[in-house]
Every structure is written in C-alpha cells, then in structure tokens.
C-alpha cells in the first residue's frame, strides 16, 4: 500500500479542481491563489507518482489515476469533517455521514426502513447509498470508498469479512395466466420449453445460477438477457417469457399480473450479508447504523 504524504489542503485543492474543472474557480472557492493551487497539485502528483489532472487551454479533467483517487479523497475529507463536527458537538444535534455500497435489490427491499429508524434517532446524520452491482460494490469496500457494503457471498479477498444477514433463493417469475403459474414447485427441466429471461452472463447472479446447475448437468438456454434484474419484471409482464430471479427481486406486495413459484432441486440461493474491510474501524455513526440493521431479522424490516 502506498503511503501518501500530503495534507488536507492538497486533497481539497485536487477535489475542488476536479469538481469545478477550473483552476480559477477552485482558487476562488478555496480563497487561494492559482499558483498556490498549482503548487499543491504538483506536490500531490509527486507524492502519488503519477499525473492526476489533464490540463489544456480549455478544460481540466482527471486522468485515469485521478478518477480512481476521487472517491477515496471524498471519503477521507468526509471522515475528517465528520470527526471535527463530532468533537465540537457531542449532543443530540451531532451530524455526520454514513456511506454504504449496497446491491440495488436490498437498497429497495429493506434498507429504506432501516434508514427511517436510524434517521429518527440521528436526524442530522446523512446516509449516502452507492447502489452498485455485486462486483462494483465489493471493489468499493476494498478501496475504502465506503464504510461497509451489503452484498452477497462470493470469492472474498482475505482482507474482507462477510457476516450473513439472510438467504435469498432464486425463484421463477411468470404471469398469473402462464401454465407454470398453476404449479406450486417448478422443476428446472420444466423451463426448457419456455423462453427464459435472465441477466447477462457476466453478472454475479448469472454465474451463481450457471455454476449450481452445471454441477447437476443442467443447462438452460437464455432467450433474453438484460443488465438489471428489474428489467426482467417488465419483460415477464409483457408476456415475453419467464424469468429466474432472486426472491428479493420479485414484487414484495401481491401483483395484479405477476406471481413467483419455488424452483425444485437443486436449490439455488445467494447469501446476502455485511461486507467489511477486516481491520478497518467504523465511525460511531456507521457502527450504530449496523447495530440498528442487525437488531431484528431482515424479514421483519
């Protein structure tokens, strides 16, 4: 790991130039001269060992390395500002920020109710949700862009820990007038004669399904492929086919047209849980958020 030896003003100068895309506007915002901004950026680039900004006569933009640094710098400055605020105000008016990387489905399924309870207890603490795919969410935790993630179990780096929250089995989603809707349990072999809607093969959900079925010598033929699970619902509702989705991705309330059915053996499920860096300490706000989240079973949120 590179030890970056720089001060907060260097980081603020970098982030402000990126946000304003101008040395002039950044200097005005920070009440510094343009030459001071330039010196701080050169110092930061020397410390990192790579250019962070591309400068032309018309615009300023982050380089590839600069783009990677932006979320880290934002998190560092947020944590510093939050710590100072906490020291100045230890009462009920305490402010702060909790940053979470969350799969889109949990972000919709139960996270809003957790935030509502948390917000009632800490009304001035902001919550930033990065609703990301499983792979992107894992990388956000690894890089320290977020304090923790809500993801599903997979191949984890030894520097990460995973604490299970719930099991989310895959189910069949179809229209209520579809022949398969008449069955309580649908076998995987029954899907062969129907047009299947699934997420694209590069997704973690698709990998999980294909791997589990391959062990049983079962192969599905996906007629439609989509990037987002939610897109499948619209295609099923339009009568274009049936879909295999995590139960969490299906309508939570009774739907006027869509129904879900259990799938037979092999039972394919994903384990959703909390993803953290192993030796990283949480801010008090993030620690309290996790305590509220885990204070009851996910099914009760």
Please state which of the four CATH numbers 3.40.1350.10, 3.40.190.10, 3.90.480.20, 3.90.950.20 is assigned to the domain occupying 167-270.
Answer: 3.40.190.10
Mean pLDDT on 164-172: 94
CB-CB contact of 53 with 66 (8 Å): yes
Mean pLDDT throughout 235-259?
92
Average pLDDT over residues 163-182: 94
**More confident: 243 or 66:** 243
| Per-residue model confidence (pLDDT) at position 257 | 94
Instruction: Give the pLDDT score at 95.
Output: 67
What confidence tens digit (pLDDT) does each residue in 277-287 have?
988 888 888 98
Hey, where are the domains in the chain? 8-63, 72-165+272-300, 167-270
pLDDT value of position 141: 92
Is the pLDDT reported for residue 90 higher than 60? no
State the Cα–Cα distance between residues 100 and 224, nearest whole angstrom.
Answer: 32
Q: Please provide residue 5's backbone torsions phi and psi, each rounded to the nearest 5 degrees.
A: -100, 95
Domain 8-63: state its class.
mainly alpha
CA angle, 272 then 278 then 283, to 5°: 90
Q: Which of 249, 226, 275 is nearest to 168 (CA)?
A: 249
Q: What is the mean pLDDT of residues 258-273?
A: 94
> Which pLDDT does position 9 carry in this prediction?
82
Question: Which CATH fold would you assign to the domain 72-165+272-300?
Answer: D-Maltodextrin-Binding Protein; domain 2 (3.40.190)
The distance between the two most distant Cα atoms of the chain, rounded to a whole number of Å, is: 73
**3-class secondary-structure state, position 38:** helix
Q: What is the pLDDT of residues 202-214, one digit of tens each?
A: 788 888 899 999 9
pTM of the prediction?
0.64
Region of poorest pLDDT, from 49-58, 106-115, 292-301 = 49-58
Computed over every residue of the chain, the mean pLDDT equals 87
pLDDT at 72: 85
The reported pLDDT for the residue numbered 83 is 63
The reply to whether domains 8-63 and 72-165+272-300 share a CATH topology is no
Q: Which of 112, 71, 88, 86 is nearest to 283 (CA)?
A: 86
Would you place residue 91 in the very low, low, confident or very high pLDDT band (cuts 50, 70, 90)? Answer: very low
Predicted local distance difference test score (pLDDT) of residue 58: 72
Q: Return the pLDDT at 175.
A: 96
Q: pLDDT-derived band of residue 226, with 50, 70 and 90 as boundaries?
A: very high
- The answer on pLDDT for 6 being more than 80 is no
pLDDT tens-digit readout, 100-149: 999 988 888 899 999 999 999 889 899 999 999 888 999 999 888 899 99
């Amino acid at each position: 790991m590179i030890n970056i030896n720089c001060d907060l003003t260097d980081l603020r100068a970098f982030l402000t130039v990126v946000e304003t895309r101008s040395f002039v506007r950044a200097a005005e915002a920070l009440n510094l001269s343009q030459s001071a901004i330039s010196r701080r950026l050169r110092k930061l680039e020397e410390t990192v060992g790579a250019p962070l900004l591309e400068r032309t006569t018309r615009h300023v933009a982050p380089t590839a390395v600069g783009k990677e640094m932006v979320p880290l710098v934002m998190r560092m400055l947020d944590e510093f500002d939050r710590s100072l605020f906490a020291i100045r105000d230890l009462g009920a008016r305490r402010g702060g920020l909790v940053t979470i990387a969350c799969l889109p489905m949990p972000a919709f399924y139960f996270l809003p109710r957790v935030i509502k309870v948390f917000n009632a207890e800490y009304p001035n603490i902001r919550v930033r949700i990065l609703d990301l795919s499983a792979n992107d969410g894992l990388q956000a935790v690894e890089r320290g862009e977020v304090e923790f993630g809500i993801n599903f179990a997979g191949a984890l780096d030894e520097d990460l820990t995973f604490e299970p929250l719930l099991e989310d089995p895959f189910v069949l989603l179809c229209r209520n007038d579809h022949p398969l809707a008449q069955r309580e349990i649908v076998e995987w072999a029954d899907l062969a004669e129907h047009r299947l809607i699934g997420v694209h093969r590069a997704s973690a959900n698709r990998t999980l399904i294909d791997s589990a079925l391959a062990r049983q010598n079962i192969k599905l033929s996906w007629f439609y492929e989509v990037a987002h699970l939610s897109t499948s619902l619209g295609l099923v509702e339009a009568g274009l086919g049936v879909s295999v989705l995590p139960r969490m991705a299906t309508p939570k309330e009774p739907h006027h047209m869509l129904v879900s059915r259990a799938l037979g053996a092999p039972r394919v499920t994903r384990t959703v849980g909390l993803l953290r860096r192993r030796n990283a300490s949480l801010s008090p706000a993030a620690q309290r958020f996790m305590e509220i989240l885990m204070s009851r079973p996910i099914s009760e949120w």
